[in-house]
């Protein structure tokens, strides 16, 4: 009898811990949204900077995919795969 009671207490403690953790994560998320909206009026021109950064990332990704595809095709050619 003692074992089952202890198991129930432990599972209730786990549920409480997860609820508290979820509330903390939700609070952090809401604070991040609040500060992002509050900070937008100061950041005129952010979109331009982000566009340039995004295009740089896009170039790197395309180059990586191209390199990997080329390596894969060369390996397939070595082994006679169609």
CA distance linking residue 65 with residue 29, whole number of Å? 33
Please state the pTM of the whole predicted model.
0.38
Could you tell me which of 33, 37, 14, 35 has the C-alpha nearest to residue 25? 33
Could you tell me which of 72, 52, 18 has the C-alpha nearest to residue 10? 18
Q: What secondary structure letter does DSSP report for 43?
A: -
Question: Is the same domain home to 1 and 38?
Answer: yes
CA distance linking residue 41 with residue 69, whole number of Å? 43
Higher per-residue pLDDT: 14 or 51: 14
Q: Please say if the pLDDT value at position 8 is more than 90.
A: no
Domain that holds residue 78: 44-82
Question: Is the same domain home to 33 and 14?
Answer: yes
Q: What is the pLDDT of residues 26-61, one digit of tens each?
A: 999 998 888 777 655 555 555 666 667 777 888 888
Question: Is the same domain home to 36 and 19?
Answer: yes
Question: Is the same domain home to 18 and 30?
Answer: yes
Structure tokens at 82: 């169609």
Q: What secondary structure letter does DSSP report for 75?
A: H
């Amino acid at each position: 009898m003692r074992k089952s009671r202890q198991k129930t207490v432990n599972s209730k403690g786990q549920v409480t811990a997860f609820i508290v953790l979820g509330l903390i994560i939700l609070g952090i998320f809401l604070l991040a949204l609040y500060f992002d909206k509050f900070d937008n009026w100061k950041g005129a021109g952010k979109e331009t900077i982000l566009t340039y950064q995004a295009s740089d990332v896009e170039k790197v990704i395309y180059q990586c995919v191209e390199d990997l595809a080329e390596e894969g095709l060369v390996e397939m050619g070595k082994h006679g795969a169609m």
